[in-house]
Amino acid sequence: MRILRVLTNKKAEFIDITAAVAGAVSEKATTFGLCCIFCPHTTAALTINENADPSVTRDILTYLEEAIPAGNSFSHQEGNSDAHIKSSLFGNSLTVVIEDGQLKLGTWQGIYFCEFDVPRKRQVYVKTIDSDSRACSAEDLSRRG
């Protein structure tokens, strides 16, 4: 597993971590398989969305701010229940296919770390699983034996 460090700068912000995730996949030399990307925080999330026009993520953040405003109507004393709600709505784990050693994303897709609370040091876990293991199934072993 590789741990990425993410430094956030605002109360609510999307940070493109696509290149960092791709770097972690390259290090592991997984040619075919799955990449699991996990956010170990409860007031942040991960999402995949457009990385061409920055107005898209800006519109998503504007929507979330209006739909789930931070405020005093929640019982949790820390005052960041809105961030916890956004975290559960967007989710903490993503699974992306790896083909030919590359993350198999769509043309316009980027992987984003979503900060919903205050700026701070965050982490993202990246774990790859090989699907090449079929090359050494029990059947293959007996054939080779």
List the one residue from 89, 102, 118, 120 that touches a second copy (CB under 8 A).
89
Applying CB under 8 A, among 4, 42, 65, 70 the residue interacting with a second copy is 42
- Interatomic CA distance for residues 111 and 59, integer angstroms: 16
Q: Among 5-13, 18-26, 66-74, which window interacts with a second copy (CB under 8 A)?
A: 66-74
Query: Given the structure tokens 């005052």, which residue do they identify?
Result: 79
Residue type, 100: D
Q: Tell me the C-alpha distance between 35 and 140, whole Å.
A: 26
76 binds a second copy (CB under 8 A): yes
Q: What angle do CA 132, 38, 124 make, to 5 degrees?
A: 110
Name the strand (E) or helix (H) holding 49: strand 44-50
Whether 18 and 6 have beta carbons less than 8 Å apart is answered as: no
The alpha-helical segments, DSSP class H, found in the chain are 18-28, 55-67, 81-90, 138-144
6 counts as binding a second copy under rule CB under 8 A: no
Residue range at the interface with a second copy (CB under 8 A); choices 4-12, 15-23, 58-66: 58-66
The 104-143 contact track toward a second copy, x by CB under 8 A, reads xxxxxx-------------x-x-xxxxxxxxxxxx-xx--
15 pairs with which residues across the strands? 113
75 binds a second copy (CB under 8 A): yes
Binding to a second copy by residue 34, rule CB under 8 A? yes
List interacting residues with a second copy (CB under 8 A).
1, 32-34, 36, 38-42, 47-50, 53, 55-56, 58-60, 62-63, 67-68, 74-78, 81, 84-85, 87-97, 99, 104-109, 123, 125, 127-138, 140-141, 144-145
